[in-house]
A = this chain, B = another copy of it.
Amino acid sequence: MHEQRSLTMNALTPAVSTGPLPASRKIHKSGVLHPQIRVPMREISVHPTAGEPPVIVYDPSGPYTDPTVETSIEKGLARLRHEWITARGDVEAYDGRHVRPEDNGFAVGERLTPEFPVRNRPLRARSGKAVTQLAYARAGIITPEMEFVAIRENLGREMLRGTLQRDGEAFGASIPDLVTPEFVRDEVAHGRAIIPANINHPESEPMIIGRNFLVKINANIGNSAVTSSMAEEVEKMVWAIRWGADTVMDLSTGRNIHNIRDWIVRNAPVPIGTVPLYQALEKVGGIAEDLTWEVYRDTLIEQAEQGVDYFTIHAGVRLHYIPLTVDRVTGIVSRGGSIMAKWCLHHHRESFLYEHFAEVCDICRAYDVSFSLGDGLRPGSIADANDAAQFAELETLGELTKIAWAKDCQVMIEGPGHVPMHKIKANMDKQLAVCGEAPFYTLGPLTTDIAPGYDHITSGIGAAMIGWFGTAMLCYVTPKEHLGLPDRNDVKIGVITYKIAAHAADLAKGHPAAKVRDDALSRARFEFRWEDQFNLSLDPETARSFHDQTLPKEAHKLAHFCSMCGPKFCSMRISHDIRAEAQKEGMAAMAAKYREGGDLYVPAEESGAPLMPEAHELS
């Protein structure tokens, strides 16, 4: 990995992390229905002595980890979807809205982030057309995006067909052995999955969020009034996807929101989400009461033209729900939710988001911006979990889902929060029932309040569980939660923690290909292929450096022990001795001999025995 400084005349162009992860190369699989598509994956090679094929893993890191591609932050990524979009013949380019000083919080001079150097005319739907993946899916069309996603979700698992053991508890989810483009279309058509892909974000590599696909994770970035800058935020985005974030939300609340977002979206190979209300609030000088539908509408269009792929919209914070939060321990913990609640109370009026929801839909359907229906009344403490305010809002989100679907808008539903373990499943069950199986997208949940500084862990527990129960995307939490804005290091820890949660969920759901990586790593571990163990892990650098803290020499990477137990006590080394001895003796015969002579106990039937793939099954 090396950091690459782009050639530029602008001294402020951010340096981002590039280069492949260890033992990894970027591979691409081509489409069949759509031969022009090239779906990226990451192939991790193991030592030749292992006699094993490379392991293919899902890869959201974009061209930054492809050494054959030269990225240039001030140019942005290649607009790979542009032709797919224009070929559909249902969009038109137009002169977009012009940037105004309020879009950047009235920043001027040195405090104003430079504009992104490249400007494209935005696209929007031709009159009367619906340009969403949902509309296409309902019309029976398999778009390039849908085939892209199908190939991506398969991860080469067609190689394992026939040797796949389905072993999991999916709680009613329907995960196929093999994902076909038609399966994708059907899931999207029914609203059970979304492909967030704004027509103005052609740089994005399509991905899918849905209960019957791999569990996804989101990383939050963005500045605040107190700290951070465009350069840091662009690097955080690249850094987050390097470690596995599937989408990134730009939650900036400081100055320069518009310009920062441009730099992010133009360089993001993953979907970008926002909360438009933040920028709307900045435009009215931070006075919630001064928000208006007009300012908000203008912000939606501004962000849709930039290419934001999904909007968090707190349209479920209705006036008459607000009293339900008065006796809560932690009130309203959602920024957007608290802002809307303040507006409603001040004006004694129903939420303008709720009242104008149909018009919001009209905007989203013209650009294919997906809804992330916000959980403004989510619980921010164990005490408030599953309370009336929270579930009242969820009921409204279900109602709004139907409205959005009627207008061909893609929808996912946001969820909690802080929820003790015994109350987690009820959240999933209720959301499935009330929201028509639209994908669920939770923040954790945190399973206890008592560990600020470690809330990636308190929430990783809840996230793994709710992912297992059916949640489609997990929004990460970093060690800085409740304490301050996360830095780059926090972003990495949050991402790795949530990759763990998502993968543990995939395993528990019985996703057919999930176990491949665990097994490959465990074989490497057992065979003391230390480098392979590190390279197959979620964070090879950290694994290697932890090992090297006590055994740093290269020769140690061949050692059949580590410093935990030393050479005499390493159980894996002893296990190898045992197997060697057993083979000499003929283990089965020995077992029979001593079963006859000794105890009459008959071992229980073997269940869950590991599947060691034969070479021919992998070709």
In the complex, the answer to whether B525 meets A482 with C-beta atoms within 8 Å is yes
List residues of chain B with CB within 8 A of the CB of A464.
421, 447, 461
Residue A345, interface by CB 8 Å: yes
Expressed in whole angstroms, the Cα–Cα distance for A594 and B350 within the complex equals 9
Residue A382, interface by CB 8 Å: yes
Q: Contacts A537-B451, A577-B342, A604-B395 hold; do A480 and B329 have CB atoms under 8 A apart?
A: no
Residue A2, interface by CB 8 Å: no
Instruction: Give per-residue flags for A553-567: 1 if the beta carbon is below 8 A from chain B beta carbons, else 0.
Output: 000000000111111
Binds B, one of A32-40, A304-312, A507-515: A507-515
List residues of chain B with CB within 8 A of the CB of A618.
none
Instruction: Give per-residue flags for A483-527: 1 if the beta carbon is below 8 A from chain B beta carbons, else 0.
Output: 111010000000011011101110111100001011101110110
Q: Would you give 8 A-B contacts (Cβ < 8 Å), ordered by A? A: A226-B563, A254-B566, A320-B599, A323-B582, A331-B571, A350-B594, A422-B507, A451-B539
Q: How far is the CB of A558 from chain B (nearest CB, A)?
A: 15
Expressed in whole angstroms, the Cα–Cα distance for A590 and B594 within the complex equals 80
Expressed in whole angstroms, the Cα–Cα distance for A388 and B66 within the complex equals 44
List residues of chain B with CB within 8 A of the CB of A346.
581
Q: How far is the CB of A477 from chain B (nearest CB, A)?
A: 11
Residue A617, interface by CB 8 Å: no
Set B392, B568, B570: member contacting A603, Cβ < 8 A: B392
Assuming A227-B550, A422-B508, A454-B542, what are 6 further A-B pairs, CB within 8 angstroms? Answer: A169-B422, A320-B598, A326-B587, A342-B577, A448-B500, A453-B539
Interface size class of A (residues with CB under 8 A): 35 or more
Residue A3, interface by CB 8 Å: no
List 6 A-B pairs, minimum CB-CB distance, nearest first.
A331-B575, A225-B566, A383-B610, A381-B522, A421-B508, A338-B574
Q: Contacts A522-B380, A598-B319 hold; do A483 and B587 have CB atoms under 8 A apart?
A: no
Expressed in whole angstroms, the Cα–Cα distance for A465 and B454 within the complex equals 18
Q: Contacts A169-B422, A537-B452 hold; do A327 and B582 have CB atoms under 8 A apart?
A: no
Expressed in whole angstroms, the Cα–Cα distance for A391 and B602 within the complex equals 12
